[in-house]
Amino acid sequence: MNDLCVLGLGYIGLPTASIFATKGKRVLGVDISPAVVETINTGRIHIQEPDLDVLVRAAVQSGNLRAATEPAPAAVFILAVPTPFIVQSDGSRTPDLAYVEAATRALAPHVRAGNLVILESTSPVGTTEKVKAWLEAELARLGRDVPAGLLYAHCPERILPGQMLKELVSNDRIAGGLTPAAAAQAKALYETFCTAQIFLTDARTAEMAKLTENAFRDVNIAFANELSLICDRLRIDVWELIRLANRHPRVKILQPGPGVGGHCIAVDPWFIVAAAPAEARLLRTAREVNDHKPHHVVAQVRAAAAQHAQPVVACLGLAFKANVDDLRESPAVEITAALADSGLQVLAVEPHVQALPPSLSGKVQLVGLEAALATANVVVLLVDHRAFGSLTLAALAGKTLIDTRGQIR
Ligand code: SAJ
């Protein structure tokens, strides 16, 4: 029998399944995509993350990691599926737990007495309780009794894209159980590879802790983004301002950018806002400030383009942040699409992808950095990729530069 069955082989499930496998656990990785399953079973990967290819290859070659489209019995089940939000007609965002519910229900034929079910997906408060209720409802539907001693815990991941493998091992973790025994068993499991501290708590506190961490960062980035708008109005260099203010021993302002992207920080605060709308006023405003920033950048670029008789805009970077290939919820994609939709000729440079996402294909041309700089007269730095690190103001002489990351000096 498998020691572990990990449901969802994306940015969290795949590294987690692989690291357990390299530590000697027999792991079945499950994904609904046959293409993902086939890729992993041949020791390759479908996402980009430094050193993940080496880890997955080692896990598969050891014989301890196997991928399939259906779960199978295991001692521990880990749910690592997406938890997006749904935009309601009134503009509010509510969590979409459909993937968690479907993955939980898929476990029902396979759970046995004493199994531990761990929810790793970032989830609204109360989701671990729902996992238990969904599993019990599905067992009833199948005519099965609830196996004795099933345990449930929430152990949110905290790893930073771009540094996942390091942080997987060295970040402190939280193990929140529906019961103390569940939390203790989850802790014992993660000690297989986690060299940092693992703190025990209840599932609701663990769920809220994960949301709180990302909401904290969102509010702090919103502060920086709001400062950048204020500085634009007051004709102050925001980067210089932040550098100077951060010399105060208790001030640590983050960096403004084109907006906040990715599947975590731009999403998770909404789970708190949806659960406590009257109280979460600052969190909602931070989301609105960060979501507004791409519109500000689009307006800046359009104003700059209007100064040229035949404007050609080069958008440098499409990923949601530096040195990753992830275009999900990327403000850079949103800005590039909006510029193309406004009728401008737009070239996109993204060294981390081979093809444009659907929202851009047919609208903009994906080109190399040199080709873009040879043609464009308006250059918009959207992502501070290392690949753009050698760009200087001198090299861009004669062009209008909009540097949303404050990188080019
Ligand atoms: N950003 C700024 N200015 C900054 C820092 C970030 O504009 O000073 C932007 C980035 O460009 C990006 C977005 O914010 O668009 C988010 O990037 P990030 O690097 O702050 O965070 P993520 O989304 O890659 O990962 C976060 C991390 N959470 C925290 O740092 C509290 C990570 O530890 C979590 O595991 C991850 O979310 C997750 O999966 O929840």
Per-residue pLDDT, averaged over 282-300, amounts to: 97
List the residue whose alpha carbon is closest to atom 37 of ligand 1. Answer: 264
Residue whose Cα lies nearest atom 11 of ligand 1: it is 321
Q: What is the b/e burial string over 312-341, where b = at least 16 CB atoms within 10 angstroms of the residue's CB? A: bbbbbbbbbbbbbbbbbbbbbbbbbbbbbe
Q: How confident is the model at residue 36 (pLDDT cuts 50, 70, 90)?
A: very high
64 or 161, which is more confident: 64
Q: pLDDT at residue 335 above 90?
A: yes
- Between the CA of 135 and the centroid of ligand 1 the distance, in Å, is 32
Note whether 2-196 and 213-403 share their fold.
yes
Which pLDDT value is given to residue 252?
A: 98
Question: Where does the pLDDT of residue 183 fall: very low under 50, low under 70, confident under 90, or very high at 90 and above?
Answer: very high
Strand, helix or coil at 314? strand
Asked if pLDDT for residue 101 goes beyond 90, the answer is yes
Longest dimension (CA), the chain: 74
Inform me whether the pLDDT recorded for 274 exceeds 90.
Answer: yes
Whether the predicted pLDDT of 273 surpasses 90: yes
Task: State the Cα–Cα distance between residues 399 and 307, nearest whole angstrom.
Answer: 11
Separation of CA 122 and ligand 1 centre (Å): 14
Mean pLDDT of the chain: 97
Mean pLDDT over 22-48 rounds to: 96
Strand arrangement of the beta sheet that strand 365-366 belongs to: 365-366, 345-349, 312-316, 378-381, 400-403
Residue nearest to atom 25 of ligand 1 (CA): 160
264 among known catalytic residues: yes
Does the pLDDT at position 328 exceed 90?
A: no
Task: Report pLDDT for 146.
Answer: 98
Which CATH number is associated with domain 213-403?
A: 3.40.50.720
Report how far ligand 1's centroid is from the alpha carbon of 264 (Å): 7
**Residue 100 confidence (pLDDT) above 90:** yes
In the structure, what pLDDT confidence band is assigned to residue 277 with cuts at 50, 70 and 90? very high
So where are the chain's domains? 2-196, 213-403
Beta carbon of 254 within 6 Å of any ligand 1 atom: yes
Angle between helices 127-141 and 98-107 (to 10 degrees): 50
pLDDT at 176 over 90: yes
Find the catalytic residue in 264, 293, 315, 321: 264
Interval 118-141: pLDDT, tens: 999 999 999 999 999 999 999 999
pLDDT tens digits along 47-96: 888 899 999 999 999 999 999 999 999 999 999 999 999 999 987 899 99
pLDDT, residue 1, reads 87
Query: What residues does 153 pair with on adjacent strands?
Result: 118, 177
Task: Report the pLDDT value the prediction gives residue 47, as an integer from 0 to 100.
Answer: 87
Q: Indicate if ligand 1 lies below 6 Å from the C-beta of 221.
A: yes
CATH superfamily of 2-196: NAD(P)-binding Rossmann-like Domain (3.40.50.720)
pLDDT for 263 beyond 90: no
25 given a catalytic annotation? no
Catalytic residue among 25, 187, 210, 321: 210
Looking from the CA of residue 262, the nearest atom of ligand 1 is 23
Please report which confidence band the pLDDT of residue 26 belongs to, taking 50, 70 and 90 as the band edges.
very high
Does residue 388 have its Cβ closer than 6 Å to ligand 1?
A: no
- Which ligand 1 atom sits nearest the alpha carbon of residue 210? 40
Alpha-carbon span 290 to 313, nearest angstrom: 23
Distance from residue 223's CA to the centre of ligand 1 (Å)? 15
**Rg, C-alpha atoms of the chain:** 23
Please state, in angstroms and rounded to a whole number, the distance separating the CA atoms of residues 199 and 158: 13
What would the pLDDT profile of 217-232 be if each residue is shown by its tens digit? 999 999 999 999 999 9
User: Residues of the chain with pLDDT > 70: what percent?
Assistant: 100
